[in-house]
Amino acid sequence: MVKNYNVLFDEQLKIVEEKLEKIFSDKTPNSLYEPCKYSIIGGGKRLRPLAVLFSNYVFSNTFQNSYNAALAFEILHNFTLVHDDIMDNSHKRRNRLTVHKAYDVNTAILAGDTLYAYSFELLLKDAYNTDFTICNDFTTAIIEVCEGQALDKEFELRHDVTVDEYITMIYKKTAALLVGCFTVGAKIGKANQEQIEAIKDYAKYLGLAFQIQDDYLDTFSDENIFGKKVGLDIVEGKKTFLLLKALELAQGVDKEQLNLLLKNKGTTFENVNNYQNIYKKYNVDRLALDKVEEYIKLANNSIEKLKSAPNFDFLIWFSNLVLQRDK
């Protein structure tokens, strides 16, 4: 029987949302737990908890015994967002005030610390029933994310960042957490070591594809579908795959314009179209999509050894979902 993964995915997403809604609902003091709850119910794709659940499902044909671990990764992810927003002095996330703007910086720091600690509490509930090495996978992911954030901040001060350095940074900041999700889910699903190594590679390439897809969508998406103003990365002068690749290829006045974007640490929305045209002139938009497709192909090739798993076909469905996303 062919499974309808769209329906299954939506069903599990609903369960995740319901569980997240309840996590801090009966805890006191309110001054601590209200900002915690605010941070985790603000929406988001929820790809990380769903990655844990479905990685378990691929090998065990069930979602049981992995809900706590799934929630742990989502709460950990939100912890990183709360602290990142403080570091970047961001005012908005997901079309709402960031936690430190909705409350204050001290409250946001404390809420982030609480989210971090609570993620471990949830993870341990599933570790007791399965494999304590999932704690190592969890902490490895946290360290990688911190290293990625450090590189990202370092890159803000440099004008000589290469595409290869950027790939290293997004692996640590984005892909490593997804690797942790799929690894933990697979271990809970009783995958063997060869299967675990395969799913790690799959998640690594999927995470890289996801981030470069984000870079592309921020600059070239349809605003009506994307749900927010296109070109924010350009306005903020962010060193994305698109900008770094354009810097490699551009010449003359175009190169001067790109360097000016770096020097000024951004521009206005009125100038976004000019930079979009430079990207298109050097085929950078296509190169970004080609890189996404390359990583998706590598992800799918990584799991050839998993074809005997009960729900192997989910992994192909999921990578296609990343490839085809438009927001």
Alpha helix segments (H runs only) across the chain: 5-23, 30-40, 47-60, 67-88, 99-102, 105-127, 133-155, 163-170, 176-188, 193-220, 223-226, 232-235, 241-249, 252-263, 272-281, 284-302, 313-324
Give the Cβ contact number of residue 190 at 10 Å. 13
The pLDDT of 86-98, averaged and rounded, is: 87
Residue spans per domain, the chain: 1-191, 205-312
Worst-scoring range by mean pLDDT, 5-19, 116-130, 190-204? 116-130
Cβ(57)–Cβ(314) under 8 Å? yes
| CB neighbourhood size of 121 (10 A) | 11
Residue 229 pLDDT level (bands cut at 50, 70, 90):
confident
Residue 135 confidence (pLDDT): 94
Does the pLDDT value for residue 151 go beyond 90?
A: yes
pLDDT at 42 over 70: yes
**Whole-angstrom Cα distance, residue 57 to residue 59?**
5
Top-tier CATH class for 1-191? mainly alpha
For the whole prediction, is pTM greater than 0.75? yes
Lowest mean pLDDT among 75-84, 126-135, 259-268: 126-135
Token couple for 207: 């995470």
Tokens of 33: 């737990």
pLDDT category, 227, cuts 50, 70, 90?
A: low
Predicted confidence (pLDDT) at residue 176 exceeds the cutoff of 60: yes
pLDDT of amino acid 225: 65
The answer to whether residue 65 scores a pLDDT higher than 60 is yes
Q: Express as a percent the part of the chain with pLDDT over 90.
A: 83
| Residues 54 and 185 sit within 8 Å (Cβ to Cβ) | yes
What's the N-to-C CA distance of the chain in angstroms? 31
The pLDDT assigned to 1 comes to 45
**Average pLDDT score over residue span 186-193:** 95
Tell me what the mean pLDDT of segment 118-135 comes to.
89
Q: Which helix (H) or strand (E) holds 96?
A: strand 96-97
pLDDT at 171: 97
The Cα 165–Cα 168 span in angstroms is 5
